[in-house]
């Protein structure tokens, strides 16, 4: 009986310790979903504020962040400044962030929105026909798609986060 109790306690202790080591490997980044294997998309294009087409295929070799937002989206508003600061971060050399408006907002409203939030390092992009919204199966905004240097989606963030949080910066630096 004594040995049975000791064996039971040792098993519980081993289980507890293994859970501690497992949880320490997990990232503490809210709303981050990391894909088991990268997802390849074709024909990922959108337009900038001058109506020039951006082709993601041409951005291979860079870490690409596609952030889908709209003016009326309060969480989008809350995270936009931190996204701007992330783009200006000198520690990240091969990162390109594209905030893509999916709210059918016109150019003037989008410019006013960026001006109001004092966005300095990001440009405005549009998914006018919502083709990317469909392609990436977005269920809401803000949603951020993170593409590796091969142009494959390896992670996404569903909802708003603080992109200037050091835990996120340290994590994203591993892929830069």
CA–CA distance, 80 with 68 (Å, rounded to integer): 10
Q: Is residue 6 part of a domain?
A: no
Residue 19 lies in a domain: no
pTM of the model: 0.83
The pLDDT, as a whole number, for residue 28 is: 82
Whether pLDDT at 21 is above 70:
no
Count the residues in the chain: 176
Structural domains of the chain, count: 1
pLDDT for the residue numbered 5: 54
**Residue 173 pLDDT:** 94
- The mean predicted confidence, pLDDT, of the chain is 88
The alpha carbon of 10 is separated from its chain's Cα centroid by a whole number of angstroms, namely 42
Domain-embedded: residue 18: no
Domain harbouring 111, CATH code: 3.40.30.10
**What pLDDT score was predicted for residue 105?**
83
- Write down the pLDDT at residue 3: 53
Task: Let me know if residue 157 belongs to a domain.
Answer: yes
Q: How far apart are CA 79 and CA 21, in angstroms?
A: 32
pLDDT at 101 over 70: yes
Q: How far apart are CA 111 and CA 122, in angstroms?
A: 11
Q: Which residue's structure tokens are 């995270």?
A: 79
Q: Which of 67-71, 126-130, 133-137 has the lowest mean pLDDT?
A: 126-130
Report long-range pairs for 106-114 (Cβ below 8 Å, ≥24 apart): 107/49, 109/71, 110/49, 110/71, 111/49, 113/71, 113/77, 114/80
pLDDT of residue 41: 94
Residue 54 belongs to what domain range?
Answer: 31-173
What is the 3-state composition of the chain as percent helix, strand, coil, each rounded to the nearest 5? 40, 25, 40
pLDDT at 19 over 70: no
Which residue stretches of 66-162 are H helix? 74-88, 107-116, 131-135
pLDDT, one tens digit per residue, over 58-74 is 999 999 999 999 999 99
CA pair distance 1, 123, nearest whole angstrom = 71
37 located within any domain: yes
Give domain status of residue 150, yes or no: yes
Report the alpha-carbon distance of residue 153 to residue 60 in Å, rounded. 12
Distance between CA atoms of 46 and 49, rounded to whole angstroms?
Answer: 10
| pLDDT tens string 37-53 | 999 999 999 999 999 99
Would 2 be classed as within a structural domain?
no
Average pLDDT value for residue range 154-169: 96
Q: Is 16 contained in some domain?
A: no
């Amino acid at each position: 009986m004594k040995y049975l109790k000791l064996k039971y306690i040792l098993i519980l202790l081993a289980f507890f310790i293994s859970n501690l080591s497992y949880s320490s490997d997990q990232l503490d980044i809210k709303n981050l979903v990391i894909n088991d294997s990268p997802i390849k998309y074709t024909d990922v294009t959108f337009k900038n504020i001058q109506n020039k087409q951006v082709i993601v295929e041409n951005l291979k070799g860079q870490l690409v962040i596609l952030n889908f937002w709209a003016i009326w989206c309060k969480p989008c508003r809350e995270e936009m400044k931190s996204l701007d600061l992330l783009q200006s971060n000198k520690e990240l050399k091969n990162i390109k962030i594209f905030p893509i408006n999916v709210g059918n907002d016109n150019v003037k409203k989008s410019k006013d929105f960026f001006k109001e939030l004092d966005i300095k390092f990001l440009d405005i992009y549009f998914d006018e026909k919502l083709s990317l919204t469909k392609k990436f199966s977005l269920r809401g905004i803000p949603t951020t798609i993170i593409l590796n240097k091969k142009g494959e989606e390896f992670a996404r963030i569903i909802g708003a986060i603080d992109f200037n949080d050091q835990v996120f910066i340290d994590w994203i630096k591993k892929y830069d």
